Homo-oligomer: A and B are copies of this chain.
Amino acid sequence: MFRFGVDYYPEHWPEERWETDARLMQEAGFNTVRLAEFAWSRLEPSPGRFDFDWLDRAIAILHARGLQVVLGTPTASPPPWVMAMHPDAFRVMESGLPVSYGNRRNYCPTHAGYRERSRIVTQAMAEHYADHPAVIGWQTDNEFGDRCYCRHCQAAFQSWLQHKYSSLDALNAAWGAIFWSHVYTAWSQIPAPLATAAPFGDGSHNPGLALDYYRFMSDQYVAFQHEQIEILRRECPAHFITHNLMGAGYDRLDYFDLAADLDFVSWDNYRRMQWTFRPEVNPSEAALSHAVMRGLKQKNFWVMEQQAGSGGWQIVSVAPRPGELQLWAHQSIAHGADAIIFFRWRTARFGAEQYWHGLLEHDGRTGRRYQEIKRMGAELARVGAQIAGSEVRAEVAILLDYDSRFAFQIQANNPAFHYTAHLHDIYQAFHARNVAVDVVAGDADFSRYKLLVAPALYVLSETTARRIEQFVEAGGVVLVTPRTGVKDETNTVVNMPLPGLLARVCGVEVEEYDSLPEGVSQPLAFEQPGICDGASPHARIWCDILRTGDAQVIARYTQEYYAGTPAITANRYGAGHAVYAATFGDASLYTMLAPWLLKLAGVEGTLTTPVGVECCVRWQGERAIWFLLNHTAEERHVTLPAPMVDIVSGQQVDAAVILRPRQVLMLTT
């Protein structure tokens, strides 16, 4: 069963409206609602006094219309009484200043009192809804993540360190605390890495301390969530548990760790919002987020919040154009979503999200957006069952590493370098060729793939290095980019030439490097014909200056004192190849390298499509469903390998397909 639904807040609306809402949901083809996510004030109006009656009535009305329910634990936004009870439970920002009351996500995940209140409300909800026939699962909290720097966290960090290092000698050695005489002689001396330590940006914290703090803070949220999960698993063994994450861009939490505890992950997919206040939307950005979310547990996911209208808090964002909402929702499905839950049902009349538009207008009218999604619902009613559970299959993987990601937050290395943007620059090259890509952690089973991309693997453990070496030895192709193997797990620079533990497999050593000013770049000269004919991708941001052993030179620098030295090399190692790209190109470099890498690895693409048309495949055993998505506002012509069948209409489609603006086709052979 394909889940199609909406996030609904009955507590925001008069009870007499609920029946109308439920009917309109049913008419839209919805089968699922998420409820209660921020309803703590209504569920527990005062300490220990619970009121589920109103929610029971709301669920009853929805259930009668065929809707099943995902419940949120409401801990992302504590009622005033909770914070009045624990005035020191406010999260403290990196500046050292506490958050004040008035928004949400204002709590410290470490605070014992807050954690107790979280367990109490979760326990009460779990007990009440364990056997409710409409309830199918839970969402923990909402969009976990912001780091806290309060004294409770500092103390917990000290305990976390004590557990990790056992002795201060070991900790001081691991961090190189002797630098600037930061040798700790009592656990209580260890600070949280506040921004006020280097107020002019003149120096970071000790990189070892900072990386450990970022890991610790990630662990705190995992632990906070785990307390809720323990309760839910015990009380509601029949229900699933998920959490709504924030896509590829969110980098404060180790999502692999957070996902480990969940049955599946969900994420919140907003394409055009206040913070991306612009008319264009790049489909590969959403696609990368889908790949990351799918990779966290290497399985399908839910979109728990799929954009339903303009987003915005103080600012109203550009309105989604006709067709965009269904297009974006279909893209989610094409990349592995087994559920599309729109956020939100009706645009709120009050509160901080008055301009975070739902499917219905402020006054309850069903307008253009509702009608568009209702049409999608009607189609899904026909084909959803064929889609649900079908899987995306990839032969290419990109390695996403949280240690490296956190470490780059401490030292960016170059002002123009952004880890996520680098991942996206590489990802888009495969996306443009409709090649499915998995995003995986360092401990994933690489043997499932033919091509592995390891972008900027800055912090590299011996285990991961060995696993990459074995992958290449066994015939895989790996692409390695600069700033790989620079640090060991203590965030100390390795005592060997870069790329450190991957130098052998890559067949190169970094003699020295040049960090380029913004705007400075140089063309690369390719040695090998057929890779980059007629084009000239540029080196930018960073240039490693290499000494090569047996590695073959693919391209060379053309300027500066290292003109003529290798910029891209390929090394035969065992049965495979390790490619070292010694500079960060812009997207065009990877666009040029991708076909060569795919050929080297023996990976074939699905379909060549014009710019702006995406083609994804989901597999049900041996049956493939092709999603053709026209992301443009113009007609696009696509040539299929053969005529196919439109699974919605059941009709045959010619090999020469014309896609209308923003049209989506789901085809099978």
A interface residues with partner B (beta carbon < 8 Å): 11-12, 38-42, 45-46, 74, 77-81, 83-84, 93, 95-104, 106, 175-186, 188-191, 193-194, 196-199, 201-209, 277-279, 310, 312-319, 321-322, 347-355, 361-365, 367-368, 410-415, 490-497, 511-518, 520, 560-561
Contacts and interface: CB of A to CB of B under 8 A. Distances in A.
B84 A512 contact: no
A106 B93 CA distance: 20
A412 B315 contact: yes
Contacts of A100: 96, 191, 194, 196-197
Given A78-B181, A318-B517, A207 B415 contact: no
Contacts of A202: 103, 313
Contacts of A103: 180, 197-198, 202-203, 205
A561 B321 contact: yes
A143 to B, nearest CB: 10
A561 B45 CA distance: 46
A349 to B, nearest CB: 4
Nearest to A99: B196
A659 to B, nearest CB: 18
A392 to B, nearest CB: 31
Closest 7 CB pairs of A and B: A176-B350, A179-B351, A102-B197, A41-B181, A41-B183, A80-B189, A316-B515
Given A42-B178, A185-B79, A512 B367 contact: yes
Nearest to A202: B313
Nearest to A408: B314
Given A12-B178, A362-B493, A368 B512 contact: yes
A340 B365 CA distance: 56
Contacts of A40: 181
A205 B314 CA distance: 10
Contacts of A175: 350
A54 to B, nearest CB: 11
A313 B203 contact: yes
10 contacts: A12-B179, A41-B178, A41-B183, A46-B185, A101-B189, A102-B182, A104-B203, A204-B352, A313-B411, A349-B492
Contact of A188 (B84, B176, B201, B413): B84
Given A194-B102, A350-B176, A317 B183 contact: no
Nearest to A319: B514
A363 B495 contact: yes
A181 B277 contact: no
Q: Work out how many copies of this chain go into the complex.
A: 3
A497 B77 CA distance: 31
A435 B179 CA distance: 43
A496 B363 CA distance: 5
B181 A79 contact: yes
B512 A415 contact: no
Contacts of A493: 347-350, 354, 362
B362 A412 contact: no
B316 A495 contact: no
Contacts of A183: 41-42, 45, 79-80
A42 B184 CA distance: 11
Nearest to A413: B316
A495 B39 contact: no
Contact of A197 (B106, B180, B310, B560): B106
Contacts of A361: 497, 512
Given A77-B181, A176-B348, A279-B517, A314 B411 contact: yes
Most-contacted residue by chain B among A78, A97, A352 (CB, 10 A)? A352
Given A99-B197, A99-B199, A102-B198, A180 B349 contact: no
Nearest to A39: B181
A80 B172 CA distance: 12
Contacts of A368: 511-512
A496 B609 CA distance: 45
Nearest to A78: B181
Nearest to A500: B363
Given A46-B185, A80-B185, A176-B349, 11 more contacts: A40-B181, A79-B185, A81-B189, A100-B197, A102-B198, A203-B353, A206-B352, A277-B415, A315-B515, A321-B561, A349-B492
B176 A367 contact: no
Nearest to A488: B349
A237 to B, nearest CB: 28
Contacts of A277: 415, 517-518
Contact of A497 (B312, B313, B363): B363
A184 B560 CA distance: 63
Contacts of A514: 318-319
A666 B100 CA distance: 58
A583 to B, nearest CB: 13
Contacts of A411: 313-315, 354-355
Contact of A203 (B45, B352, B413): B352
A412 B277 CA distance: 14
Given A12-B179, A204-B314, A81 B185 contact: yes
A314 B509 CA distance: 23
A494 B362 contact: yes
A102 B184 CA distance: 11
Contacts of A11: 178
Nearest to A74: B181
A371 B33 CA distance: 70
